[in-house]
Amino acid sequence: MAGRSLQIWLHGVHVADLVTATRGALRCRYTEEALARWPGNTPMLSCSLPLDDRPLPAEAFLRGLLPEGSALNALAARADVPASDTFGLLARYGRDIAGAVVFSDGPPDTGRYAVEPYSEDGLAGEVAGLEQLPLGVHDDSELSLAGLQNKMLLVALPGGGWGRPVHGQPSTHILKVDNAAWPGLVEAEAACLALAEAGGLTAIEPVVAHIGAQPCLIVARYDRRTVGKVVERVHQEDCCQALGRTAKYQSRGRGGPSFAETAVLLERYAADPERQLRRLLATATFTLAIGNGDAHGKNLALLHDPIGAVSLAPLYDTCPTVMWPRLRTELAMALDGHYSLYDCDRWCLHNEARGWSVPEATAREVVDGTLESLRNALRAGVITGGSHLALTIGRRVENLLLGATAGPPAKPFA
């Protein structure tokens, strides 16, 4: 359907309009205010949508704001629109989404924001019902979150406990439910987040809680900050959105983002490209060290500051898939053309970074420094000593420091 239009707001500024063109194609059209306020080619909304006076194709960025699979179908059914109707879904759910963008017919009506507190039993019931009610969406919910995994959005209450965001109230936390097919996933992810924090790669503090009968991981959103009693949005996008891709995985020629393409974005748009490239290499090293085959383009993201400069977001979704060999034993993004979580070594990391024009001495310093910090964190007991996960990551780290390949898990979980 042609002729539909929806306003796009960012930090209180009407920066663009989402419009439908011929045959329903979606375009982002920056406003005169945005064009006057920021220089041309500034990536205000996305690196794939640099500021321009022409309408820009926006489907990949927009689809990246919506869930996948059964969660998408459930949201579409509740909104009474087809799952392919990105415009209709964002018109219905585009008030509390990843980053700082708000989709609205006019200035966001913050007066409608509300939080409905959960009782202990109420939250447990909501978690138990996520298969039937993805994201915990109700008729008054105006939220969306990308991904396939069962999850929901929460607001931390000032006196403790959790609430449900209503009518676009910015959420503060994400709750993920353990996967029945891969039990122990949330505990392993929490352990690796703690390890990433010890290595300076994230500030997310994970909490594993049993809610009802379900083990759950609860993490604070890095794209939200609380100032006094107000929850503020921080703009971000994942690398699929930043590169205008819908495919997540680079592996097996699927067309997803690569580390090299992410490095190009950082060189082009970061305020301090050298620092960000070092951080990207540390991220790649950590990914190989923990055996994460799910570090794809939607699990690596960029933060946007108010003037459009980008930086790598804190690590999230740090799942050691190597512990479940039936899950993934390939890297989602290649290292020097190699994908195997077992057979890559630190020379793959060095050569990959040299392809981003990182000097060899710098590459060695970053890779070795990251591995040493992981070794120290493991020795300090960041992950429970003696566990199969700690033994596996410890062995992989030592192998990489010795110049050997990372190797298989000490003992798989399943």
- Which active-site residues does the annotation give? 294
Place of tokens 């009802």: 212
Closest to 37 measured CA to CA, from 15, 57, 20: 15
Beta strands 173-177 and 214-220 are antiparallel
CA dihedral 323, 326, 332, 336 (to 10 degrees): 80
CA distance 309 to 293: 29
Residue 121 has which token pair? 């039993």
Closest to 300 measured CA to CA, from 335, 256, 365: 256
Beta strands in 253-359 (DSSP E): 301-304, 310-312, 330-335, 338-340
CB-CB neighbours of 13 under 10 Å: 15
Whole-angstrom distance between the N-terminal and C-terminal Cα of the chain?
48
Residue 266 has which token pair? 């950082």
| Distances in whole angstroms, Cα of residue 150 to Cα of each of 214, 270, 296 | 11, 33, 18
CA distance 398 to 393: 9
Q: Backbone dihedral region of 141: left (phi > 0), alpha (psi from -120 to 50 degrees) or beta?
A: beta
Phi/psi of residue 152, nearest 5 degrees:
-150, 165
Decide: 290 and 396 in contact? Cβ < 8 Å: yes
Amino acid, res. 173? H
Radius of gyration (C-alpha) of the chain in whole angstroms: 21
Q: Please tell me whether residue 94 adopts helix, strand or coil conformation.
A: coil
Residue 370 has which token pair? 């990251």
Residue 357 has which token pair? 């024009």
Cβ neighbors of 386 (< 8 A, separation 6 or more) are none
